[in-house]
Structure 1
Amino acid sequence: MRGHGGIVLACAACLLLAWWLAHPRSTLPTPAPGHVAACPLPPRVPAGAPPLQTTVPAGLALPAIADATLTPLAGFSVTARVLGRENYRFDAGATYSPMDLALGWGRMNDDTVLSRLSISQGGRWYRYRWQQQPPIPVDEIVRSSANMHMLPADADVARALDRVHAGDHVRIDGWLVRIDARDGWHWVSSLRRDDSGDGACELVFVCAVESP
């Protein structure tokens, strides 16, 4: 009986192997590093291209942060050089955005250009100065760089952002948003890359962070 049972088991194993080969499992895509599965990604910009802003799909809803609701205004994807970072703990926006990244693309990723600029951040602003003449036209500096307020979608994204420093190259994918707190306070992202001054910063709900 033991020998007969062994034959039955061998036949069953062969049939199971044949079924598995005929029905291969689908391969699931590997999530981007730092990507929040519950936070849908917008269309992603090719590496080296200017930031990509896209329309919001119908019905897209983002999770609330603390006591505030988030309204998506546009999809946003950027690959850029980090010109500077500044952390915030005590201002009105720190609950939602604990850090700003000043990002540069195009010729604002060029060492020759950046070596002639003095870059600083503070008070939720990004500033640049030069001696004598700017290394590139000022309107190009405006179009090719921005100070962006980062809203991490969860603790994993926050940790990924914590590892980002000046001089790094990063890809950030998420959504430009409006924040509305219960007490009436609100904060609205810029939807342009050619503006400057008050209100010109992007407010980015970050779904994914990675090195391009």
Structure 2
Amino acid sequence: MKLVKWLLLIVLAVVAVKQWQHNQEVSLGPGVKVAQAPVQKPISQAVPFEFEDYQITPLANFSLQAKVLGREDYNIDRESELSPTDLALGWQKMSDESVLAEIDITQTRRWYYWRVEQFPIPRHDIETQSANMHLIPADSQVANVLKKVKKGQIIALEGQLIQAKAADGWSWRSSMTRDDTGAHACEVVYVTSLSVIE
């Protein structure tokens, strides 16, 4: 019985250490770290494909560099079968830590929220230079990189904005613009390449 308790304590300690490491924020200092907005290119003839028992239809090719404003991992909702992690990402003014220091950012239930006492930049810039993205790793290599991504880092990713459908009628469709807010404004990204730049 004592052995079981010790093993349980060891497992809990390992989980706690991993969670602590996972939550460590990277600071890169003030200044815009990503000057360019995400790049989206239309697909002339989208070819649906099967992935994890879902039909995936590419809607646009998509690439970006961005600062990680937050991350939230999921494992019990329907969407987590495809997307284990949401990243709140920022570019242009929303990649500047002197701006971000004035913005309280949180994520929950697949939503990204921000709050300010006073606007450090115009509201429109906050809304259009940041987004919550539901990331679907295309393979184990992307999944392994995604597991290690930390708040504050600069990442680069490539893939497609997609719509996912299941045989039971469930579907999940990406936003197709960075200008929208509220429900259905998040990007659903099938990620074929992911790297941490700094």
Superposition TM-score, scaled by structure 1 size: 0.75
Matched residue type, 1:128: W
- Paired with 2:66 and 2:48, the residues of 1 have a C-alpha distance of 25
Matched residue type, 1:175: Q
Distance 1:63 1:162, change over 3 A: farther
Shift of 1:211: 2.8
- Paired with 2:48 and 2:146, the residues of 1 have a C-alpha distance of 19
- Paired with 2:131 and 2:99, the residues of 1 have a C-alpha distance of 16
Q: Which residue is equivalent to 1:161?
A: 146
Secondary structure at the counterpart of residue 50 of structure 2: coil
Q: Which residue is equivalent to 1:17?
A: none
Q: Which residue is equivalent to 1:87?
A: 73
- Paired with 2:139 and 2:104, the residues of 1 have a C-alpha distance of 33
- Paired with 1:154 and 1:57, the residues of 2 have a C-alpha distance of 25
Secondary structure at the counterpart of residue 64 of structure 1: strand
Distance 1:205 1:79, change over 3 A: same
Instruction: Note if 1:177 corresponds to 2:162.
Output: yes
Matched residue type, 1:145: S
Correspondences of 1:5-44 after superposition (within 5 Å): none
Matched residue type, 2:189: V
Matched residue type, 1:165: K
Q: Structure 1 unaligned runs (5+)? A: 1-46
Q: Which residue is equivalent to 2:132?
A: 147
Give a deviation string over 1:103-151, Cα, whole Å, max 9, x none. 00000011110000111100000011111x2111111101100000000
Identity across the alignment (%) = 43
Q: Which residue is equivalent to 1:210?
A: 195
Distance 1:211 1:62, change over 3 A: farther
Shift of 1:161: 0.7
Contact 1:100–1:149 (8 Å) recurs in 2: yes
Q: Which residue is equivalent to 2:184?
A: 199
Shift of 1:192: 0.6
Q: Structure 2 unaligned runs (5+)? A: 1-33
Shift of 1:65: 2.0
Give a deviation string over 1:83-115, Cα, whole Å, max 9, x none. 000000011101001110000000001111000
- Paired with 1:65 and 1:122, the residues of 2 have a C-alpha distance of 26
Superposition TM-score, scaled by structure 2 size: 0.80
Structure 1 or 2, whichever has the larger Rg, is 1
Instruction: Note if 1:61 corresponds to 2:47.
Output: yes
Contact 2:49–2:57 (8 Å) recurs in 1: no
Distance 1:147 1:88, change over 3 A: same
- Paired with 1:141 and 1:167, the residues of 2 have a C-alpha distance of 17
Aligned length: 164
Matched residue type, 1:82: V
Correspondences of 1:69-84 after superposition (within 5 Å): 69-84=55-70
Secondary structure at the counterpart of residue 155 of structure 2: strand
Contact 2:149–2:196 (8 Å) recurs in 1: no
Give a deviation string over 1:152-187, Cα, whole Å, max 9, x none. 001111001111110000001000000001110000
